[in-house]
Structure 1
């Protein structure tokens, strides 16, 4: 078994998944993240499995996050656009695209589970991020458990508590229900007083509690990172409660409902969420429209050119 992370401290073991943490890993030089491997991965990733985004470098409103396209371009052209421009390439579920990344992902979580007694994960996922110098990644909140692993370059991450005002309850419910995107969050400069911030260098990785809003700014260098997502029974229970609360909110005149994950009320909400998710799958309502308004262009100053807005389902 390969060793992925350095020795954990007792505090890190106790706080994993419950507090923002900065740890170390041993894969900054892994050939899976070399330029040639990344170029091949870009070319192999289907349209359904990638996002390309941009936002002005000084923009703080996460709703200004824009979606683009890179279909048909060579991996080297995309990487050239990243190096000279202002774009963020997100290759999703790379473990489904390449068996090498699937083995890597399985080994990585086996290592975490060996180091953190009682931690058992499933439905794991891995994404690769290739982003421009000084790229500003909008404030957003993810649904599963998540970690960010730095491979190349440097970036700063700000993590905010997963509670109001940083994360209003109705916002995470809408994200869970796919009624809004993960960047549809309020932001105010006063939030910085409540943030924890990490400077990530090659070999660092950060993790935080479920749904904790976070934003990222790259240093003046190309960045290569990867993210991992996972589920546990505890995370699944929290997801089910948020899902059901979102469905029930109109019946309770918009009031926040309990997020408790034990007891009869929780079991009823779990059943409501499961039934509704089953109906959505049968009805084919598991995707949401995304507006695309630019295309990656390695010749353009920002690494992309605007195109007529059009919608795709993601």
Structure 2
């Protein structure tokens, strides 16, 4: 019998996707996350599939999250910049870049589905995160189901309930509709009383309910981790409702609408969301404009230098 790549305590399988969880995995020593493999992956990742970001280490205002670039740099130079600076490199959909990461992703979800009764996932993806010592990742909310897997270094993760005031309904609608970024969320220090917090070291992983806002603070060491995203029928239904509610909000005076995923109203919203998404793809009205205002530089103190701002569509 093959060894499981994840470890579960009693009761955790039933809470998967319902509550924030802290679990263990066995990929911390995988050669996929060696320096040599990461340098190769950086160089192989196309511009459309990476982000480079920075924010002041103690900043809590997610609007201060900045976007940068690293096109043309070697993987070794990027790793050096991360090690000495204050940047966060996000290599998206690495399963599309290398079959080895696709195999690892498929193996992980096969393992999760063996442990979680009735869970079936599709449209899965893996992103690799390489981030600086004490890097602060702004409060944000993701649209698909998501888990964070720690490989090297230590970080603390704070997870907040996916409801107002932590997640105003209009904010998640705008994120789903790509009218705003996933960091467009309010923050107040009083939120900490409702947060669940986990410290992650090599071999730890954590997962949380759909859209739960979260933020991250690295320990005083370079961090390597990866995220996995997935969809299920339940997640897709919730996404469709938020999408349709965002379209309908102006017609109802900005009033919040039901997020119910059953019944005639849900079916009408699902149809509206599907039709609107189809129209956007046909007209090319999709994607998000990003303002780039810095460039990775391994010789700079913070690992980057400011540049004249310009925009890209991603």
TM range (shorter): over 0.9
SS in 2 for 1:10: coil
Displacement of 1:2 in angstroms is 5.0
Residue matched to 2:92: 92
Displacement of 1:117 in angstroms is 1.2
SS in 2 for 1:164: coil
Superposed structure 1 runs of 4+ greater than 4 Å apart: none
Give yes or no for the alignment of 1:255 onto 2:255.
yes
User: In structure 2, what is the Cα distance between the partners aligned to 1:286 and 1:10?
Assistant: 43
SS in 2 for 1:113: helix
User: In structure 1, what is the Cα distance between the partners aligned to 2:67 and 2:107?
Assistant: 32
User: In structure 2, what is the Cα distance between the partners aligned to 1:210 and 1:63?
Assistant: 22
1:143-162 map, 5 Å: 143-162=143-162
Measured against aligned partners, the alpha-carbon deviations of 1:178-225 in whole angstroms (never above 9, x if no partner) come to 000000100001000110000000000000000000000000000000
1:21-36 map, 5 Å: 21-36=21-36
Displacement of 1:67 in angstroms is 0.1
Measured against aligned partners, the alpha-carbon deviations of 1:71-106 in whole angstroms (never above 9, x if no partner) come to 000000000000000000000000000011011100
Contact 1:2-1:107 at 8 Å conserved across structures:
no
Structure 2: unaligned runs, 5 residues or longer: none
User: In structure 2, what is the Cα distance between the partners aligned to 1:12 and 1:95?
Assistant: 27
User: In structure 1, what is the Cα distance between the partners aligned to 2:113 and 2:249?
Assistant: 37
User: In structure 2, what is the Cα distance between the partners aligned to 1:110 and 1:2?
Assistant: 12
Q: TM-score, normalised by structure 1?
A: 0.99
User: In structure 2, what is the Cα distance between the partners aligned to 1:160 and 1:259?
Assistant: 19
Q: TM-score, normalised by structure 2?
A: 0.99
Displacement of 1:11 in angstroms is 1.3
Measured against aligned partners, the alpha-carbon deviations of 1:138-164 in whole angstroms (never above 9, x if no partner) come to 000000000000000000000000000
User: In structure 1, what is the Cα distance between the partners aligned to 2:63 and 2:203?
Assistant: 31
Give yes or no for the alignment of 1:282 onto 2:282.
yes
Structure 1: unaligned runs, 5 residues or longer: none
Measured against aligned partners, the alpha-carbon deviations of 1:280-308 in whole angstroms (never above 9, x if no partner) come to 01011221110000000000000000000
User: In structure 2, what is the Cα distance between the partners aligned to 1:153 and 1:194?
Assistant: 26
Give yes or no for the alignment of 1:4 onto 2:18.
no
SS in 1 for 2:225: strand
**Superposed CA RMSD:** 0.6
Q: Structure 2 vs 1, CA of residues 59 and 303 (structure 1 numbering), >3 Å: closer, same or farther?
A: same
Paired residues, number: 313
User: In structure 1, what is the Cα distance between the partners aligned to 2:78 and 2:3?
Assistant: 32
User: In structure 1, what is the Cα distance between the partners aligned to 2:137 and 2:60?
Assistant: 9
SS in 1 for 2:129: strand
User: In structure 2, what is the Cα distance between the partners aligned to 1:64 and 1:285?
Assistant: 26
